[in-house]
Every structure is written in structure tokens, then in C-alpha cells.
A = this chain, B = another copy of it.
Amino acid sequence: MVTNEVRSLDGRFNVMALACPTRAVIDRIGDKWTLLVLYALGSGRLRFSQLRAQVQGVSQKMLTQTLRGMERDGLLSRTVHAEVPPRVEYELTELGRGLQEVVAGIRLWAYGHMDEIDEARERYDTKI
């Protein structure tokens, strides 16, 4: 573990240092659409219109924006075919697939504990 490096002089964890890299990842997938695109591309390469159909509810603007961001971060590759009408295909890179596996860990925990969270919410809401 890397935790040694981020302890302050008083022995406390430096919250910021610990959170920072995690924060970066969460910020990356925490927006409204990246996670859904990641899932959609999990089964293989898709073109823009297919993505838009599978990620229902996404606007053209936001899909483009999300894809640009993910391409910039090396999570997916974008290939433009010189045809008319144009055909553009997106595919996860190895880095993107790795991120997907991480997210799979979250999903696993989510499936196992979302009911606990829901129960806690009900208790909290009814008590007050």
C-alpha cells in the first residue's frame, strides 16, 4: 500500500493526498454519461448512432462531449471511415477495459448492499 507516504506528521492520514488519485477516477466516471458509455462499449465496437440508441436519454451534444473526453483520456479509440454518409466507430482501449473491471467491483458491492442503503434511507425518512 501507498498509505505510508500520505501520513502527516501527527500520524493522521492526509485526506487530500489519499483521495486525490481516487478523486480523479471518480471525477472521470462520475459524470452523467461516461459510465453508461463504458458499459455500452463493453460488448464491443459501436458506431455513434448505435451508442446513442443504446445509451437512451443521452443528447447528441452530451454523447459527443463524453466520447471526446474518454478519447482524450485514452479510454476509447475513435475511427472515422472515409465514406458518405460518414461512419464513426468507437471501441474501448485496453485502459478502458481495465477501468471497466474496476467498475465491475463497484457493481458487485452495489448489488450486495443497495438494499441496506435503501432500508437505511427509509428508516431515516420515516423517523423524522
Which residues of A are in contact with B by a Cβ distance under 8 Å?
A: 2, 12-13, 15-16, 18-19, 21-30, 35-36, 39-40, 42-43, 54-56, 71-75, 95, 98-99, 102-103, 105-107, 109-111, 113-114, 116-117, 119-121, 123-125
Contact = CB atoms under 8 A, between A and B. Distances in A.
Given A29-B26, A39-B13, A18 B95 contact: no
A122 to B, nearest CB: 10
A69 B19 CA distance: 19
As for how many copies of this chain the complex holds, the number is 2
Given A15-B54, A28-B117, 4 more contacts: A2-B111, A21-B110, A22-B103, A25-B109
A55 to B, nearest CB: 6
